[in-house]
Structure 1
Amino acid sequence: MPQFNYEARDRRGKIHKGVLEAASKQVLATKLKESGLRLLQAEQKKESIWSKEIYIGNPVKPIDFIVFLRQFAILIRSGVSIVEGTSILGAQTESKVLKKALAQIEVELREGSSLSSACKKHSHIFSPLFVNMLMAGETSGTMDTTLERLADYYDKQYRTRKKLQSALTYPIVIGIITLFIVTFLLTYVIPTFEDLFVQFDSELPFITSAIIAISDWLMNNILFVLLIIVLLFVIFLLIFYNKSTRIYIDYAIMKMPLIGKLYQKALIARFTRTFGSLLENSVPILESLILSERIVGNLIVSDVLQKARRSLETGNSLTEPMKKHWIIPPLVIQMMAIGEKTGSLDYMLQKAADFYEAEVETATDQFKAMLEPMMIVFLAVIVGTIVLAIVVPMFTIFNTIQ
């Protein structure tokens, strides 16, 4: 919230100067009036580069945002005005970022702005999809229904994303644990036993010699290895955020065993849910396609949707370009084609989204059930090989001692 350097006068005519935080000059004047002061002049303090807030992704937790939408819908349905509803929710939300944004939105609403235009100024919280659906709700006079649909949309998106994250978390955690264990064994345990083997001057098996060689190389080049890891990470980020190369990463992920199909189902669920929700809230179909292209988060799907939009703009079928690409399943194309012919495209998309969200849930459970034993075996083989390299020569040393 901005801060103001102000100058005010009390009832006795004495001048007061200070700094106060307020959403606008009008709010500042109101605050000072409640303290018995009359505002004479105010100037907003300029933010330094260090005081500016930097956000990575949406700074509001999905759960907080969903609760806010559901409560807002209930308040509007109960007859509470949008301004009062914004004020009530701003006072009780636990999210500091959302609280600050709602305070500023309330000021703009009282000055005559619409809710959608006020939310548009806070793009770090309210996405273009949210603003467009809100605008459609204002136009149709169904704000409560629109807010409820938005809550349902974000809730389903959140649940699908959490399912996908839960499926990927297990292998990532096991991989990190394996990396730490192997690094510890190679840099701490193996050198200790290497000294013992040298003392007894015993002939070492091939597996032991190989592990010792790897350990020595790692010990001598640890900084080089760390530099390579950092460099690879930076290169990956550059490739990932470059549109011309990102498409190859998206394609590679889609073709990965096990996870490729799961990722594809999650993308189809996101696309159909987003497109269907926008159409259900009376957002124009071309605008809905543009927003879906941006939100789906995969360049291959975005490219197909772009071709579908161009097909629609030239008066052709929406689904025709989709039939020529492998990324969109035939079931979705058929349901969309039926929706186009019957005028129930939004309904068919929502049903397709329901189906694929259930598919993602089932597929993640199956993925985890298959992956857990595979990861345990992987960890056992890696660690077991290193342990075996230590144990085998130990038997030779014990026999020599005896």
Structure 2
Amino acid sequence: MPTFTYTARTSNGGLKSATVDAPSRDDAVAQLRRQRLSIIKVDESKATPQTTGGSITMRDIVIFTRQFSTMINAGLPLVQALDILARQSENKALTAVVRQVVFDVESGNTVADAMRKHPKAFSDLYTNMVAAGEAGGILDTILNRLAVFMEKNDALLRKVKGAMIYPTVILCVAALCVVILLWKVIPVFAGMFGSVGVELPLPTQIVIGLSGLLNRYWWAFIGGMAGLAFFIKQYYGTAPGRLVIDRVLLKVPVLGDVLRKSAVSRFTRTLGTLISSGVSILDGLEITARTSGNRVVQDAIMDSRASIAGGDTIAGPLQKSEVFPPMVISMIAVGEQTGGLDEMLTKIADFYDDEVDAAVSALLSLLEPIMIVFLGVVVGGMIVAMYLPIFDMVNTVR
């Protein structure tokens, strides 16, 4: 969006020079007139436009939301609060987005409608809750709930991702060790054994054969791995593929338990936050399904939405999915019957946050010995295989 430099006279007669972002000069003039400024000069800035590249992190949005909530609660007008946030944000991408939101709000749009134009910064869940807050006159309360929700959701995601870092690093180290051994070390042993002419044991022959294949056809190995990764990515991008892979992940021992519990926690906290903020249950279920992160869970939630639209309950379709534990189904059913579904969902989410902690700890405790044994078997097995002929030669000399 172009930036215009202007000079104008304020209502008390003072001169003011600053910049304003607008799609065109006419829009800039209109924006300044809405601020009751007497325009003297408006020119498009010739300076190099400020970069809007970079990503907007969850932490950036949480800080923005908390500060926005505080300003609204203190009685500042919406436009003034947003303008202050745009000027003090350290993230250039977020600054550009908030300035565009300010322009749209000054043009007559609601805050929620202005934010919907920037889906990379503000999710459907965010904009729907803001819309509910504007309609109910409790925008500051809704923004505070949003900040709390995003902080807890971000903490949950970090726990699950953290659980995957350790095994990923170990597997990468193991793969690197195997490649170096097969590429550089094993050929030295193979040449030595070839010059002696000793008969090699089967394990040694297998290792030397793998080394020869890697050195001769390394390009095929790299191409095969890249092709496999591309195929999996493309397959996961399709609806059937994502359903199959997500279903398999949920059935993996220990890891599946972590993913299931994190999915339950995210679903219940998201839906509970939306319902307590005044979003309709049908809209809430649709938004929650899109943010579930697992196709099996998403399908179960959408089945529940169809069930509610047909006059049924949420609990029935969730039970059929076999993803949600019986306790969760029972508590949701009780919440529906008593009219306290939002409170019940929040209680479930709090409980499962602790369950995710326990499941992640169990996963890490199990993975550590498994990874050590795996490294020992793979790397140690290759080394032993190369020393077997040496042992045979020593025995022959004796």
**TM-score of the superposition, structure 1-length normalised?**
0.87
Count of matched residue positions in the alignment of Structure 1 and Structure 2: 379
Query: Conserved in 1, the CA contact under 8 Å of 2:101 and 2:114?
Result: yes
CA contact (8 A) 1:73 1:148 kept: yes
Equivalent in the alignment of 1:257 = 253
CA distance in 1, matches of 2:390, 2:354: 54
> C-alpha separation between the residues in 1 aligned to 2:81 and 2:66?
12
Letter in 2 for 1:258: V
Match of 2:11 in 1: none
Which of residues 348, 356, 359 in structure 2 aligns to 1:352? Answer: 348
The correspondence of residues 25-64 of structure 1 with structure 2, limited to 5 A, is 25=24, 38-39=41-42, 59-64=55-60
Evaluate the alpha carbon distance shift between residue 199 and residue 400 of structure 1 in structure 2; reply closer, same or farther with a 3 A threshold.
Answer: farther
- Give the Cα separation in 1 of the matches to 2:85 and 2:20: 20
Which of 304, 309, 314 matches 1:313? 309
Q: Secondary structure at the match of 1:38?
A: strand
Distance 1:53 1:214, change over 3 A: farther
Displacement after TM superposition at 1:369 (Å): 1.2
Partner amino acid, structure 2, of 1:318: I
**Deviations, residues 143-176 of structure 1 (Å, cap 9, x unaligned):** 1110110011111110011000011111111111
> Structure 1 residue 210 and structure 2 residue 206: aligned?
yes
Superposition deviation, residue 373 in structure 1: 1.4
After superposing the two structures, state which structure 1 stretch, 267-276 or 75-84, moved more: 75-84
> How many angstroms apart in 2 are the aligned matches of 1:323 and 1:196?
64
Tell me: CA distance 1:144–1:177, structure 2 relative to 1, closer, same or farther (3 Å).
Answer: same
The Cα of 1:289 is off from its aligned counterpart by 0.9
CA distance in 1, matches of 2:331, 2:254: 26
Deviation at 1:205, TM superposition (A): 2.1
Structure 1: state its 5+ residue gaps: 10-19, 44-51
Task: Name the aligned partner's letter for residue 21 of structure 2.
Answer: A
Secondary structure in structure 1 of the residue aligned to 2:312: coil
TM-superposed CA distance for 1:54, in Å, is: 8.8
CA contact (8 A) 2:68 2:85 kept: yes
- Matched AA of 1:279: I
The CA distance in 1 between the partners of 2:195 and 2:311, in whole Å, is: 84
List alignment gaps of at least 5 residues for structure 2: 8-18, 46-50
**How many angstroms apart in 2 are the aligned matches of 1:291 and 1:201?**
70
Deviation at 1:244, TM superposition (A): 2.2
Q: Which residue of 2 aligns with 1:17?
A: none
Identity of aligned residues (%): 33
| CA offset digits 1:245-287 (Å, max 9, x no partner) | 2211111111111111111111111111111110010101111
| 1:187-336 correspondence runs (5 A) | 187-336=183-332
Contact kept? 2:61, 2:121, Cα under 8 Å: no
**Structure 1 pair 38/53, CA: closer, same or farther in 2 (3 Å)?**
closer
Contact 1:200-1:397 at 8 Å conserved across structures:
no
2:367 equivalent in structure 1: 371
Using the size of structure 2 for normalisation, the TM-score is 0.88
CA distance in 2, matches of 1:7, 1:353: 50
Partner of 2:2: 3
The verdict on how the C-alpha distance between 1:196 and 1:156 changes in structure 2, with shifts beyond 3 A counting, is same
Residue 304 of structure 1 aligns to a residue in which SS? helix
Q: Aligned Cα RMSD in Å?
A: 2.9
- Look up the match of 2:21: 22
- Identify the residue that residue 13 of structure 2 maps to in structure 1: none
Query: In 1, Cα distance between the equivalents of 2:74 and 2:20?
Result: 32
